[in-house]
């Protein structure tokens, strides 16, 4: 939480200076690495020792980048719609997008812990669970970059 508070003030500056999708994709990439440290990873167990330093480093990496992925997501929803439909009611759009974002966030806070619990119970290992979450975050990051940045940029 402290790392989130430190970086949340920098989000607006970063997404106005650089491409917000690239910033978000890069932060998801760092979050995937942080999730591997959080476990520490079962897949990378030869490189990541199981100690408190790795877990703390993972939490810091995730905290430093989570403000960019959560705050920057609103801009990524708002700007393309306004670009596509410039005559839209911007106040109504903000209300709808805020509701959609909060509904998605709430759904994630329900599904995420349930999925993590089932994976941990199924494999009897939190380290394997963090591998699943890190890989799924990495896949999402790559798909976001591929479809939104590379294909949209053409």
Q: Tokens 């294909």 map to which residue?
A: 151
Stated pTM of the model: 0.85
Q: How far apart are CA 63 and CA 3, in angstroms?
A: 5
Q: How far is CA 151 from the centre of its chain?
A: 21
| Spatial contact of 92 and 3, defined as CB atoms under 8 Å apart | no
Q: What is the pLDDT of residue 52?
A: 92
Q: What is the pLDDT of residue 78?
A: 81
Q: What is the pLDDT of residue 67?
A: 87
Q: What is the pLDDT of residue 152?
A: 67
Q: How far apart are CA 89 and CA 87, in angstroms?
A: 7
Q: What is the pLDDT of residue 16?
A: 83
Which residues of the chain fall below pLDDT 50?
none
| Spatial contact of 119 and 134, defined as CB atoms under 8 Å apart | no
């Amino acid at each position: 939480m402290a790392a989130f508070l430190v970086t949340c003030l920098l989000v607006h500056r970063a997404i106005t200076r650089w491409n917000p999708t690239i910033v978000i994709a890069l932060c998801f990439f760092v979050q995937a690495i942080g999730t591997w440290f959080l476990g520490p990873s079962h897949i990378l167990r030869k490189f990541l020792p199981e100690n408190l330093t790795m877990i703390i480093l993972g939490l810091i990496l995730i905290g430093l980048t989570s403000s960019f992925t959560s705050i920057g997501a609103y801009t990524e929803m708002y700007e393309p719609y306004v670009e596509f439909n410039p005559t839209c009611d911007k106040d109504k759009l903000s209300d709808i997008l805020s509701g959609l974002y909060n509904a998605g966030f709430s759904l994630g806070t329900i599904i995420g812990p349930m999925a993590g619990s089932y994976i941990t119970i199924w494999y009897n290992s939190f380290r394997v669970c963090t591998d699943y979450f890190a890989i799924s975050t990495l896949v999402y990051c790559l798909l976001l970059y591929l479809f939104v940045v590379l294909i949209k940029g053409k």
